[in-house]
Amino acid sequence: MTTPTATLGVEEEYLLLDRDTGLPAPRAGQVQEAADLEPVLGRDEVDNELLQAQVEVATPVCTGLDDITGHLVRFRQAVGAAADRAGCRLAATGGAPMTSQRDVPVTEKRRYLEMRADAGRLVDEQLICGMHIHVAVPDRSAGAAALGRLRPWLPVLVALGANSPFWAGRDTGFASWRTVVFGRWPVAGSPPFIADGAEYERRVGALLDTGVIRDRHQLYWHARLSDTYPTLEVRAPDVQVDIDSAVTLAGIARGLVATALREGRRGARPLDPPGSILNAAGWHAARHGLTGDLVDPRHGTPAKAAGVVGALLDHIAPALAELGDTARVTEGVQRLLDNGTGATRQRRAVAEGGVDALLDLIAPGPAGRDGAPGIVEEAARP
């Protein structure tokens, strides 16, 4: 596979929020039924998720970022209309900004019910949504080697994709609270350095042998090999508040995979920071997003976020040029640096217009009502 033919796809998870209160609404089944009436949606294009206040969509295999854009526009408009008919709002946020004392039911699937039995309260708190970017790889061995090569840059994707500052009516102080919640699972955060497909299978097999995780779907690393598609799946970012940011991150992820595959073919020496450093870098990225320093993966030391993001763009520049993505990605990154991540924009909305402004940002649709005390006050804290 050459770089110009690297196909990709994007999955987006969304929250369903009650139209009036903004609280998580367990109406995934109703939204799926309403979605079947949308002429631009194929049957079963709207899937359920772990909790009944979440739905997921997935693009087909795409050849370029324009294709990704078109499908995400289609999904957000059509599923948003279906949600409205079900009395709720489709929210593009990495974490539920408000929660009630009543838990959202788990989706009635055997795997999800087993997870609830295994992990208890942790499953109840999975009101979090991410975006997953699948990039084609020629085979699992090449994909595993590419995973090892791109892992140092995954914390930067966490920072760029941060879009979950609020939780349970309060400002968490984190840009990506979703990253923190996901980090509570047994297998999460930075993937280990893996040289080839055989080593990947040994590592996964050893984890399954512990009995701590039930299946390969519970490998909640920031990136992993897909067991469904011939792809490397980048899972680091929160779902994005807007489509432009989502497409920008998809372009970066494809550039990272293409660069890693090229380095593997050339036999270039990989950058291999210790896992402890990458986990610390990922936590720091989730804490601050782009508002402070990031850990520079080349040196393991702090540096201005804009400088580290610039180093990432330099790293993938040849691949972006070959793919024809340079302008789209660099302009999108500059908008994130200038206007802020989704987390920054959420906080800005609350500071300027309270809960209604927040809901209008993350879940455009009929105006919500007041009734989420705490967010405005918490967001105003230094």
Contact 78, 29 (CB under 8 A): no
Average pLDDT over residues 240-246: 98
pLDDT digits (tens, 9 = 90+) for 142-167: 999 999 999 999 999 999 999 999 99
- How far, in Å, CA of 243 to CA of 239, rounded? 10
On the question of pLDDT at 184 being above 50, the answer is: yes
pLDDT of residue 365: 66
Residue 127 pLDDT exceeds 80 = yes
pLDDT band at 309 (very low <50, low <70, confident <90, very high): very high
Statement: residue 376 has pLDDT above 70: no
Q: What is the pTM of this model?
A: 0.94
Q: What is the reported pLDDT for 42? A: 86
pLDDT of 368 over the 80 cut:
no
Please state which of the ranges 28-32, 209-213, 363-367 shows the lowest mean pLDDT.
363-367
Name 27's Cβ contacts closer than 8 Å, sequence gap at least 6: 16, 52, 53, 83, 86, 87, 88
Mean per-residue pLDDT for 77-84?
96
The pLDDT score that the predictor gives to residue 367 is 37
Looking at residue 236, what is its pLDDT? 98
Provide the 10 A C-beta neighbour count for residue 215. Answer: 11
Interatomic CA distance for residues 352 and 260, integer angstroms: 42
What is the pLDDT at residue 378? 41
Calculate the average pLDDT of the chain.
93
Domains in the chain, CATH or no CATH each: 7-379 (3.30.590.20)
> Is pLDDT at 6 greater than 60 in this prediction?
yes
Which residues, at least 6 apart from 242, have a Cβ–Cβ distance to it below 8 Å? Answer: 92, 342
Tokens 């709002």 label which residue? 89
Please tell me the distance from the alpha carbon of residue 226 to that of residue 141, in angstroms, as a whole number.
12
Give tens-digit pLDDT for 332-349: 999 999 999 999 999 999
Query: Averaged over 117-141, what is the pLDDT?
Result: 96
pLDDT, position 43: 82
Lowest mean pLDDT among 55-59, 98-102, 369-373: 369-373
The 8-class DSSP code of residue 239 comes to P
* Interval 267-285: pLDDT, tens: 999 999 999 999 999 999 9
278-306 confidence digits (pLDDT tens): 999 999 999 999 999 999 999 999 999 99
